[in-house]
Chain A
C-alpha cells in the first residue's frame, strides 16, 4: 500500500509537469487548429534557460536563497520562451495561416528540428547536470515525499489557478475563447485575432518554461533532445483529456503521469513509453474526443 501511494505521489509530480506542457498544446490546437510540434522543444528551451540562469546566478551570488533562485530561473525562463514562441509564431506559422492544413504542421516539425539542433550546436550535445537545489525530504509513515515534489505540485496548482482566472474572467480570456469558437466572427466583432493568437502562444510557452524549469530541478539534468519524448507525452495528455479543453489537459497530464509511474513500478520500466503511446492510440481509436472534449461535428 505504501509503495502504491509512493508511486501515486511520483506520478502526480510527473503528471503536473506534463499537464503544464499539455495546456500549451491544447490552447494552440483549440485556437488555430494546428499541432504545435515545436512545443516540446519550447519546454526544453525553458529548461535550458533555467539552467543558464542557475549557473550565472550561483556564480555571482554564491549564497543566494533557493526560493529566490528558483523564482528567478522560472521567471527568466518564462520571458525567454515567451519571446521565442512569439517570434516562432510570427515567422513560421502566421504567414501560413489560411494555407493548406499540412503547411504549418511541416514548419512546426521543421522548427522542432531547428530548436533542438540549435541548442545542440550552441550548448553542446552532452547532458548538462546541475547540483541538487532542493534536498529536503519528509517522511510520513513509510512514504517519502521530497520538497521538490511538493513544490512542483504547488507551483502547478498556483499557475493553473492563475491561468483559469485569465481564461475565464478577463477580457483577454474572453477574446481567446471567442477566437477559438469562430475566428472570423470574433474578428468582425472587434477582437484583434492576431494579437490574441500571439498572446496564446506566449502563455503556452510560459507554462512550458515553468514545466521545463521544474523538470530540470526534479531530475537535475538538461539535454538538447529532452523536448521530443516529454512533448509527445504532453500531447498524449492533451488528447486524452480532450483536445481544446483546459481542465482536460491537466487531467490528461495527471493520468499520463500516474500511468507512467505505476506502469514502471508494477510492470516494466523499459516499456513505459510504449504504454503511453499505446494509450494514445487506444484513446484516439475508441474515444477521439478524449475525456472532456466536445464531440466534433462532421460538416459537409
Chain B
C-alpha cells in the first residue's frame, strides 16, 4: 500500500505509461471517424470528406498524456492527502473559518450592490453594458432560477427536468398580457408568478404518485409539451417567430425607459441618452428578486411546510406515517418553485424584449438543474457560486477573441460553450459529487448549530 502510492515509484510509473498508451489507443479508435475525418459540402452541395490527421493526433495525445498524468501523479497525490487527513483525524467541516469565510455573504451582497457603479466607473458607459447585462443580469437570472428549482429538487427532493416550462409560462404570460392588454410590468410580475404556480399545481397533480427517475421523465415530457404547444399554437404565440417588441419595465410607473416618451428617465435626471441606465435598473430588479427568493426559501425552511419538504426528501413513507399530507407538501413545493420560475420568466421577457420557444428548450432545464446539483443541493451559497462559475464561465468564453489568434480565424468560441459546459458538469460531478458546498446547515438543531456533511442527506429520491 505505502510503496505503491509513492510518486515516482517504478511500479506506478510503469502502470501510468501502460494506462497512457492504452488510453491513446482507445481514443485513436474513438476519434478516428469523428475527428480524423471531416465531412463537408462541396460546391455542388454533395457531401464529401477529407482527413484531419493533425487534429486526430492532438486528441489522441491529449487523452494519452492526461491519463498518464492522472494515474502517475494526480491520483497518488490525492490518495496521499486523503491518507494524511485520515491519520490526523481532523474533519474538514470543523476547521476554523477565516474572516472571508465567515463574512462571505455580506461581502458578496455589498459587492453586488456596488457592482453596476463599479463597472460604470472602471469601463465607462458603453463598456459597462456588457458587464452589467451579459454578466450581471444573465448570471442573476440563473441564480434565481436555480434557487427556485432548489425548492423542488434540493428541499423537497422531487427531481424536475422540465423546470424551464414554468420559466416559459412566466415569460409568455408577460409577453402576451402586456402586448394584448397593455398591462404594466409591475402588475404582471406577481401575476405571472401566480400563473406559473397554477401551472405547477396542474402539472404537479397527476405526478404525485411518481418517484425519482419516473418523475424526472414526466416533468421532462411536460416541459417539452409546453414548448411544442408554444411552437404550434401560432394564432396566439406566433410560433417560432416569437413575440417581439415587449414593453420595457418602468421605474415603478414614475419614469419610463423608452427614449421617446415624455417622462423618460434620462430627461428627468438630465442625463445623456444611454441604455446603460435601464440595464442598471434591471440589474437591481433581478438582484431584489433573487434576494426575495433566498429570503422566502430560508424562511420557508424553518416553517412547518419547509420541515415537511425536507422530511419528504429524506423518507416519503416515514413522512406519510407521521401524518404529513404528502399531497399538499408536494404540490406546495411544485407551486413555490414554479412561481419563482415564472417571475424570473417575466423578468426575462422584459429584459430581452423578445421571447420565442427557442429560449425554453430542454437544455435550459438541464443547465439549471446542473447548477443546482453542482452547487450542492439545498445550499443557496453553493448554488450561487455554481451559477457564477458555469454561466459566467461560458460568457467569458464568448469574450475570448484572442483565442482566434491562437487557433486561427475560423475558431468560434461560442461553439465550444456548451461542449465545455457539459464537460464541466461531468468533471465536477466526478470530483465533487456533493457539489461545491458539500456541507449543510441544519434547520433544526439541539443547543448548537453544527454543519453536517451533505452525505447524510438524501436527495432526489422523491
A residues apposed to B, CB below 8 Å: 29, 33-35, 45, 48-49, 51-53, 55-56, 59, 76, 80, 83-84, 87, 91-92, 95-96, 99-103, 105-107, 109-114, 117-126, 128-131, 228, 232, 235-236, 239, 270-271, 273-274, 277-278, 280-281, 284-285, 288, 298, 300
Contact = CB atoms under 8 A, between A and B. Distances in A.
A99 B438 CA distance: 13
B229 interface: yes
B430 A271 contact: no
B38 interface: yes
B44 to A, nearest CB: 12
Given A51-B39, A110-B422, A96 B430 contact: yes
Contacts of A59: 48-49
A92 B362 CA distance: 21
Nearest to B418: A117
A35 B415 CA distance: 27
A96 B433 contact: yes
Nearest to B363: A113
B62 to A, nearest CB: 14
B29 A124 contact: no
Contacts of A101: 212, 459-461
Contact of B366 (A113, A277, A298): A113
B40 interface: yes
A52 B37 contact: yes
Nearest to A108: B426
B34 A235 contact: no
Contacts of B222: 277, 281
B37 A56 contact: yes
A239 B213 CA distance: 11
A118 B224 CA distance: 24
Contact of B30 (A83, A126, A288): A83
Contact of B214 (A124, A228, A232, A284): A284
Given A107-B430, A109-B425, A110-B370, A102 B159 contact: yes
A83 B26 contact: yes
A107 B426 contact: yes
Contacts of B48: 55, 59
Nearest to A84: B30
A285 B218 contact: yes
Contact of B425 (A113, A130, A236, A270): A113
A147 to B, nearest CB: 22
A45 B231 CA distance: 28
A100 B458 contact: yes
Interface in B429-457: 429-430, 433-434, 455
Contacts of A270: 228, 231-232
Interface in B209-233: 209-210, 212-214, 216-218, 220-222, 224-225, 228-229, 231-232
Q: Interface residues of B toward A: which range?
A: 35 or more
Contact of B38 (A92, A122, A125, A228): A122
B197 interface: no
Tell me the interface secondary structure of chain A in the complex: helix
B260 interface: no
Given A271-B228, A278-B225, A113 B34 contact: no
A107 B374 CA distance: 11
Nearest to A235: B217
Contacts of B415: 117, 120-121, 125
A116 to B, nearest CB: 8
A62 to B, nearest CB: 14
A113 B39 contact: no
Contacts of B30: 80, 83-84, 87
A106 B228 contact: no
Contacts of B461: 101
B203 to A, nearest CB: 9
B422 A111 contact: yes
Interface of B: 26, 29-30, 33-35, 37-41, 46-49, 159, 206-207, 209-210, 212-214, 216-218, 220-222, 224-225, 228-229, 231-232, 317-318, 362-363, 366, 369-370, 373-374, 377, 415-416, 418-419, 421-426, 429-430, 433-434, 455, 458-461
Given A106-B429, A121-B416, A284 B459 contact: no
A96 B224 contact: no
A131 B41 CA distance: 13
A42 to B, nearest CB: 12
A280 B30 CA distance: 34
Given A103-B433, A285-B209, A113 B217 contact: no
A48 B34 contact: yes
A285 B206 contact: yes
B48 to A, nearest CB: 7
* A48, A96, A122: residue with the most chain B Cβ atoms closer than 10 Å: A122
A84 B30 CA distance: 6
A105 B377 CA distance: 14
A56 B37 CA distance: 9
Contacts of B416: 117, 121
A236 B374 CA distance: 27
Given A48-B33, A109-B425, A117-B419, 6 more contacts: A101-B212, A114-B423, A122-B38, A270-B231, A278-B221, A285-B210
The 9 closest A-B pairs by CB, nearest first: A110-B425, A113-B422, A114-B422, A277-B221, A117-B419, A102-B460, A110-B426, A270-B232, A103-B433
B224 A273 contact: yes
B45 to A, nearest CB: 8
A128 B39 contact: yes
A111 B418 CA distance: 11
Given A123-B38, A130-B47, A113 B421 contact: yes
A284 B370 contact: no
Contacts of B225: 274, 277-278, 281
Contacts of A284: 207, 210, 214, 217-218
Nearest to B421: A113
Given A271-B228, A285-B210, A285-B218, A228 B362 contact: yes
A128 B424 CA distance: 29
Given A52-B37, A106-B369, A235-B217, A300 B460 contact: no
Contact of A53 (B33, B214, B220, B366): B33
Contacts of A55: 37, 39, 47-49
Given A110-B429, A113-B418, A285-B210, A35 B217 contact: yes
A33 B48 CA distance: 42
A100 B370 contact: no
Contacts of A95: 430
B33 A281 contact: no
* A87, A102, A122, A131: residue with the most chain B Cβ atoms closer than 10 Å: A102
* A80, A101, A111, A278: residue with the most chain B Cβ atoms closer than 10 Å: A101
